[in-house]
Structure 1
């Protein structure tokens, strides 16, 4: 019989409601002005609206609202702010500019199909744009007549590099890149060429395996191909050492498709491809998460460091990163002033939601925004850091959230384990409050929550992350189990009331767990993988999923390693009640993964509930669906725990 722990009294002013969780306004990645005085950021609501705000970096003036829009980027002279807005046509973003001394926004583009990204250039006269081709008359005819057959490899539009002349409003397309799909752009700080990262196709698979770097001269449109770059390459940045301009970027550690990110450095030659690419993070026990360009010096980077986040700077002489500061919890969205003396980030800690902070690179940082003041009255469950050993002696970390208003001494409590996605992700010591990672939501209902960080995740170096290749559900599963056993032994968790939940790779782990043991009395599988062979053949990240799961189904009749690693293979063993949640239009982990698992559970008479959310992809975006998921997850735990 269920024995739920005491819950907050309904009507209490500190009661966390589902509406409060999903209706929070959240800040987007900030942009600091080149002169370091101001920080711009967007604030998004669940309705899809976004407003643009600006604050003094030193906190001397309160934030003020500028306009409706998102993705702010500064002009080189700090006098104007560029941003995108779909105010004129919902879903079609156009570039706008606001001059801070005038206060009125002006529209700069009317590109049919919209602008996906923008980069103001150093000359002050040009903005590099990323945009698809405008629809042709033939496209309009086909749309009107429903003549919309999709020819694969032609069904996704290519994003091209274009240059906007601010004086004339003319947009010129850079044709030297052919039909390659442009992903990111970084201008050399002295106004030199653009570093352009492109894929052979807009499809994630094989797009991320076909990335190349190019140099583009804005004035002439001349293109130099620097050659291929690593898997999941992103964030190109320029930096200068002595007289040489160099290019660095983030990518999975060379030679691997699964593993920790690395900072890869190159010296662009006068012509032709790059001769050598060098990892600048070899042997580090932390993982680079963001890399940003600094006009007057070497790049700065955020590193995932266990449960925390550290800011590092590259030392030009040793070509190694050195720590400047470390902050508890999660930092993201790093932006740097021209001099690199001032930085701004999004920061969240155990009981504080994500907000914009700014200050000197070596700290401390000052909070500038407060986008969800309504959370100030909420009582949170105490969040503790955990450190423990895996079965093989590997040091692990994680987090424990106690039920709201309760202490360890009042245990044992029903325990829900939340496994993160990825697997290359982590639970940092931040506020865990979303429809997917709903730790504090469950704590408010009387549950203890274990946030597990098994191997395969970020924050502990490349080897820690790479070990799960072909071994998903192996040591990472026993890592999770070791944490649960610790909490049971310490009297925090009731061994008769254990639940497990996760989304994406965490959903896979929940499905895997209940096929390995009957210790869990409830499970939630959110957008999870049940069959690695099918996932490698149909998911967006198929090439990576094949490495994680152990292979593909087209290499002969088997037996296949991916079958050994698939929860569907053990469905006959499952007795744990399962709640399956999945987006109907998910292409990352296609809906068929959930249908397959559902049919197996039905075949073996396992108590379960299968919920499909229309119009949703790999996450939940619509308010009603987010509310439903929060309430349904808690109700499922209430029923069985």
Structure 2
């Protein structure tokens, strides 16, 4: 079915306002690292072109005193890192490491390594760089070549190389297993997250491993949760890391722990209820994270493991290291707005100061220095002329909460148009399930202000399983996906009806990934509650998810069963098992190259709904993966979403 021309025009105007006047110059800042003296910052920012399908990521140098910006890259840049002496910048460009002189812009490429450089870390001696290198599997076809998988197929490699910048030489470290993340711990030891194999599935069972540069390695800590963000103290006295259930690699928020490399003892850190998403050593250990509805920053002084009375052990955690107590920390900033991009992050400055990307629902991203006299100071406003047009039509955002059927407090963010209600309400479900909505620009997704501008209220919920509420809150979704968390969402809808925000019969639902699963699940489990649904990258069949996805470990852990369990949750919690009950008009999006959630699941669900006579459309985008990144596809997806809600959940 074609998209209404008025709807397409509305969407094109919305995205032109967001990006059009920023073509060709620095837009969103994606990553920041500050020089040790605190005078300058290296940032990776988006640079969009009207003629490009995807934005470039480009290295820039920003003077933190004046905001003056110098472009130092041409595209494909990630992972900016200042040397500890502040003399050089290292960056990964198009899969290769390079050094940049911040004063002259002179470039020095690293010697070739076997594979693609994904990240790099400076040694405390400011001479050597640790390179995380990925060699993809050789059996992946291209053109007419076949793709080879199976137990005997090459699975590629994930290893570590060291670049000695003084001699301009590289050598590969001998490591048993696949390295996903790594950092120096002192000058002769490396702390790494290591699994047996380089496949995404293996990451979930990786260990924190200590690797000697001279040779040899040992497991420092093992858990039945996921381990991530290893950060070694420059003097080698401790390794900080985060432990938590994680839905996806790279999406980490959890408990901060310290490992003593000498004794193997592990200490908890009291982060005052913050689920940690980012770590840095700079004179002390800095952490950033989420405490719903706030973002917070703290510092752990010293590097040793302090023996203090520990909290009672959680019996479900199996560790290979003894727990040595709990350290304290000092919280130095918190706010209901947020810092960082996808997850909270910062770059430390001398003293208890830091620089970060700062935003809120109606405040576009800015590079801001915190901790200075007079309060936060805007260094660089990366927004542009069109932002105010989006902001002025985005309505208002408030944090709301309610009680779930079992009495648990649930929270979320309500974006609503100006003027009295009731409004049609779109229930917005995040991915994960271990993730969270935060008060950031557009609530992180352009769909929210787009819908509000057309007269919809949008309720973005953080049900049980979300980050920012501690370990026990996350644990509540494990083994019960589509159970009590679905009740949390429905209770939020009921609360909005009771408060006059909306009314029965005028409710829609949308979400991506786990939010897509939940959207499909809700319209089957509660066929009379929703007038329209839009689901993207959705799990609809847990059997297909287990056997065809690259992360088959996830469903076993989070459903609490294997797919061979007769009548088990792989069937009973699959939206496909309820497709015959669905009467809600449903629009489905999928990326043809999605390896995390195979797109055939959307095909299955769309076919089942069509056979039942339910209005359904299935849109599959070529050359797109789990997240839609191409500008043409993004425009089309939002136009179809708005058209679908306009048709089946009208505002008039």
Q: TM-score, normalized by length of structure 1?
A: 0.86
Matched residue, 2:261: 268
Distance of 1:570 and 1:159 partners within structure 2: 41
- 1:49 corresponds, among 44, 56, 59, to 56
Task: Note the 1:576-587 alignment, pairs <5 A.
Answer: 576-587=584-595
- Whether the aligned pair in 2 keeps the contact of 1:259 and 1:456 (CA below 8 Å) is no
| 2:260 aligned with 1:277 | no
Q: What's the secondary structure of 2:531's corresponding residue? A: strand
Matched residue, 1:307: 293
Matched residue, 1:74: 82
Distance 1:103 1:633, change over 3 A: same
Higher relative contact order (CA 8 A, sep 6+): 1
Task: Note the 1:2-401 alignment, pairs <5 A.
Answer: 17-21=14-18, 25-45=27-47, 47-57=54-64, 59-68=65-74, 69-86=77-94, 93-111=95-113, 113-132=115-134, 146=145, 149-152=148-151, 154-175=153-174, 177-178=175-176, 180-189=177-186, 191-217=187-213, 220-226=214-220, 228-229=222-223, 231-239=225-233, 245-252=237-244, 261-269=254-262, 274=264, 276-281=265-270, 285-294=273-282, 296-297=283-284, 299-314=285-300, 317=306, 319-332=327-340, 334-337=345-348, 339=350, 341-360=352-371, 364-378=375-389, 379=392, 380-401=394-415
Distance of 1:460 and 1:536 partners within structure 2: 29
| 2:497 aligned with 1:488 | yes
- Give the deviation of 1:293 after TM superposition: 2.1
1:482-528, CA deviations, whole angstroms, 9 ceiling, x for partnerless residues?
Answer: 22122222222132221100001111111111112212110011111
Distance of 1:583 and 1:547 partners within structure 2: 25
- Whether the aligned pair in 2 keeps the contact of 1:83 and 1:97 (CA below 8 Å) is yes
Q: What's the secondary structure of 1:599's corresponding residue? A: helix
- Give the deviation of 1:361 after TM superposition: 8.7
* Structure 2: unaligned runs, 5 residues or longer: 1-5, 49-53, 309-326
- Whether the aligned pair in 1 keeps the contact of 2:427 and 2:458 (CA below 8 Å) is yes
Matched residue, 1:527: 537
Task: State the Cα RMSD in Å.
Answer: 3.3
Distance of 2:140 and 2:467 partners within structure 1: 48
Distance 1:141 1:260, change over 3 A: closer
Q: What's the secondary structure of 2:510's corresponding residue? A: strand
- Give the deviation of 1:152 after TM superposition: 4.3
Distance of 2:146 and 2:538 partners within structure 1: 34
- Whether the aligned pair in 2 keeps the contact of 1:235 and 1:292 (CA below 8 Å) is no
Q: What's the secondary structure of 1:483's corresponding residue? A: helix
Distance 1:553 1:157, change over 3 A: same
Distance 1:393 1:62, change over 3 A: same
Q: How many residues align?
A: 601
* Structure 1: unaligned runs, 5 residues or longer: 1-6, 87-92
Q: What's the secondary structure of 2:578's corresponding residue? A: helix
- Give the deviation of 1:449 after TM superposition: 1.0
Q: What's the secondary structure of 1:534's corresponding residue? A: helix
More displaced 10-residue stretch of structure 1: 306-315 or 503-512: 306-315
Matched residue, 2:312: none
Matched residue, 1:89: none
1:423-478, CA deviations, whole angstroms, 9 ceiling, x for partnerless residues?
Answer: 111111122266x6611111122211111111110111111111111212222112
1:48-106, CA deviations, whole angstroms, 9 ceiling, x for partnerless residues?
Answer: 4222112233x3342332223332111121121111223xxxxxx22222212223333
Distance of 1:134 and 1:563 partners within structure 2: 34
- Give the deviation of 1:329 after TM superposition: 2.6
- Whether the aligned pair in 2 keeps the contact of 1:230 and 1:252 (CA below 8 Å) is no
- Whether the aligned pair in 2 keeps the contact of 1:19 and 1:627 (CA below 8 Å) is no
Distance of 1:143 and 1:521 partners within structure 2: 43
- Whether the aligned pair in 2 keeps the contact of 1:26 and 1:43 (CA below 8 Å) is yes
Distance of 1:163 and 1:589 partners within structure 2: 35
Distance 1:338 1:195, change over 3 A: farther
Q: What's the secondary structure of 2:407's corresponding residue? A: coil
Distance of 2:153 and 2:203 partners within structure 1: 13
Distance of 2:136 and 2:245 partners within structure 1: 37
